[in-house]
Amino acid sequence: MLLKIVQAGESVLRNQARELSREELRGDEIRRLIEWMRETMRDAPGVGLAAPQVGLPLQLAVIEDGAELQRAIAPERLAERGRRPVPFHVIANPSIELDGGTAEFFEGCLSVPGLTAIVPRALRARVRCLDHEGEEVIIQSDGWYARILQHEIDHLRGVLYLDRMLSRSMMTVEHLTRHWNDLPIVEVKRRLGIGETP
């Protein structure tokens, strides 16, 4: 079953989500929700989907960055982003520690369709959370995977990438694809005058 993805402006995207108990995570209702969120994320397509994005204020997100989503991206851009396939998994009630400096890349969101912007994110993230069985796990991540985790955990705290973006870089996804996608971020920033004093 495909769920409706709510769009920026809905209050559920701007509030702290509530934690789930281990019993809830092991229950049929949340198991069904996880499966529907997986189907919805894959259909979109996206690499992550948080429960607030489907209108539910729960600290729950699904993540998957399959190889098929990366085929259309040039190998040098994948290397620049540190992007490698990530298998499907669930995070619930996460806490996050950031490390390793920052990297800037274009980011989009299923709740802000058609737009994208450069967003600085930490290069590494350590996440402590519960998995789909309610078991505690620790995830060590870097590169694009660390970016996905930061983006989805932001959703659980009422934060959108719009709050973190370099505002001068915002553009349509179509424009990014047509004019900017094959350039290194440093060159995009130079051409857009980002980092220069007005």
Give the whole-angstrom CA distance, residue 47 versus residue 69.
9
Instruction: Tell me the residue ranges of DSSP E strands in 22-157.
Output: 48-50, 60-65, 86-107, 115-130, 136-142
Tell me, what's the pLDDT at 197? Answer: 56
Low-confidence spans in the chain with pLDDT less than 70: 196-198
Count the domains in the chain. Answer: 1
Q: Considering the domain boundaries, does residue 197 fall inside one?
A: no
Collapsing DSSP to helix, strand or coil, 34 comes out as helix
Q: Considering the domain boundaries, does residue 198 fall inside one?
A: no
Which CA distances in Å does 121 have to 63, 68, 81?
Answer: 17, 24, 11
Question: What single letter denotes the amino acid at residue 131?
Answer: D
Q: Considering the domain boundaries, does residue 4 fall inside one?
A: no
Which candidate, 10, 127, 2, places its Cα nearest to that of 57? 10
Give the whole-angstrom CA distance, residue 160 versus residue 77.
24
The domain in which residue 88 lies consists of 11-192
Q: Considering the domain boundaries, does residue 114 fall inside one?
A: yes
Tell me, what's the pLDDT at 181? Answer: 86
Q: Considering the domain boundaries, does residue 3 fall inside one?
A: no
Tell me, what's the pLDDT at 99? Answer: 93
Tell me, what's the pLDDT at 198? Answer: 55
Q: Considering the domain boundaries, does residue 5 fall inside one?
A: no
Which candidate, 160, 146, 63, places its Cα nearest to that of 103? 146
Q: Considering the domain boundaries, does residue 28 fall inside one?
A: yes
Give the whole-angstrom CA distance, residue 129 versus residue 108.
24
- Residues marked active site are found at 152
> What CATH number did the domain enclosing 144 receive?
3.90.45.10
Collapsing DSSP to helix, strand or coil, 63 comes out as strand
Q: Considering the domain boundaries, does residue 45 fall inside one?
A: yes
